[in-house]
Chains A and B, each alone.
Chain A
Amino acid sequence: MEAVTVPAGEVVAGSVLHAGRLITQIENGRPQARPVLRALAPYCGRAQLVGVTGPPGAGKSTLAAALIRHLRGQGRTVGVIAVDPSSPFTGGALLGDRDRMAEAAGGDPGVFIRSVASRGASGGLAAAVNDTVDVMDAMGKDVVLIETVGVGQGEFDIARIAHTVVLVLVPGYGDALQAMKAGITEIADVVAVNKGDAPGADQTAKDLAAQGFERTGPDGAERWKVPVLTVSALRGEGVAELAAAVDEHHAFTGATAWRAAAERARGRSRFTAFVADRLRGELLKAAEETLGDTRPADPYGAAEAYVGALLNAHRTLSADIPGTEQK
């Protein structure tokens, strides 16, 4: 629970002890983590980021385990960030994803699995997962898998960190309308119908494929046809094909304007998250202190005036935000 500054060099050298501690500091929002993350930045940007999302019980962890085994077979090192929900009542969490993946990892130094509790805060969680991705990236992991429960906006924010989002569905999930209303068709780059060994899997895959899901690139030019694959994570069937589809999507976005746009968006959202975090913590606290014991007669008006004054101060501060690249 102590919060000493973690040596960045040790993390880059692959020390799991130091990386593990740094991730805890990130989760706890410790300021000690900030300079370390900055020091790691030059070593980031090499890992392939793959999101695995889908409804509870779809077999995401088991599928992730199968993917880990496949990637290791190709000689690629893997980092895994497995997010499970915290109890909104006690704040506690039961993190069970590692159990499903332990077999695939089994003491293999090429695999680093970290279980993360959602802790209820969606925006904060996305920022923490972003930073944890950087830690694993800087450690030199070739692929970072991000596994989340695909329900709710906050989870989608996390999935968007990934270069490729694999949506895991199961037979009997519901018809295509169900998939569309959940908003998931807008985030999936590859759809995997898991439990391919169960009855109805082929029909489900066929139904989904018939929808002809497509993703449109940032400039509206390139289109990506979302492949729908049937897999059985349990039996290891279709896993190689799924991994190939993920790599194909990664190569496709890398060769087009998609990746650059995604990286820009990620950079922007991280900037916003950092700023929001510090403003909430520090600026708001300062404002409250200034307020002291006084009670504004018109809280709404006072807040409006305060924010107006802040925005004015921002305008006079500078035309550009320091440290950003010019277009």
Chain B
Amino acid sequence: MSGEHIKVLLAKKKIDVHGRGSKLIARELRDAGMEVVYFRFGVVAEIAEAALQENADVVAVSVMTSGQLQIARDLIPALKERGMTQVLVIMGGIIPEVDFEPLRALGVHRSFPPGLPGGVVAEYIRENVGKASLV
């Protein structure tokens, strides 16, 4: 086997029919040499369970139709409960910037607005993976 790769669980709400943003990010991360598990979730517990099974280094949640605060409120404890205390959690999509700070307070390490130049998310992940902890 050759080398080690950052494993990202990229979760998108099943109800978000527009997948262009999440697919764009999936491709960007793949092209940055990461292994991206792409899947659509119904309930937040599915993200935590998938992160556990995949032993993901990063959990990335793509949100378009809002609900980000509730997702974070459910997701962070669900990850901690399962012992995933070292995982890096990021969010992106149509999230108003006023939510960034509340999301951080809930345990989301970083949120990204849409329209960023390519490579920003991958670079953030590369710099912060393995250093994060869920508090």
Contact = CB atoms under 8 A, between A and B. Distances in A.
Contact of A94 (B27, B52, B57): B27
Interface residues of B, number: 38
A92 B1 contact: no
28 contacts: A1-B129, A20-B52, A20-B54, A21-B55, A87-B30, A90-B30, A90-B31, A91-B3, A92-B5, A92-B31, A92-B35, A94-B26, A94-B27, A94-B38, A95-B35, A102-B46, A102-B50, A105-B49, A107-B45, A107-B49, A114-B53, A115-B35, A119-B1, A119-B3, A120-B2, A121-B1, A121-B2, A124-B1
Contacts of A234: none
Given A20-B52, A23-B55, A24-B55, A102 B39 contact: yes
B40 interface: yes
Nearest to B56: A20
Interface in A107-134: 107, 112-115, 117, 119-121, 124-125, 128
Interface of A: 1-2, 16-17, 20-21, 23-24, 27-29, 86-87, 90-96, 98-99, 102, 105-107, 112-115, 117, 119-121, 124-125, 128
A295 B49 CA distance: 54
B52 A102 contact: no
Nearest to A1: B130
Contacts of B57: 1
B120 interface: no
Interface string B22-55: 0000110111111111111111011001101111
B127 interface: no
Interface in B64-88: 82-84, 86
Contacts, number: 104
A114 B54 contact: yes
A117 B35 contact: yes
Nearest to A22: B55
A124 B11 CA distance: 29
A96 B40 CA distance: 10
Nearest to A124: B1
Contacts of B26: 94
B40 A99 contact: yes
Nearest to B4: A28
Nearest to B7: A24
Given A1-B4, A98-B39, A91 B53 contact: no
B5 A91 contact: yes
Contact of B32 (A29, A90, A120): A90
B1 A28 contact: yes
B49 to A, nearest CB: 5
B29 A92 contact: yes
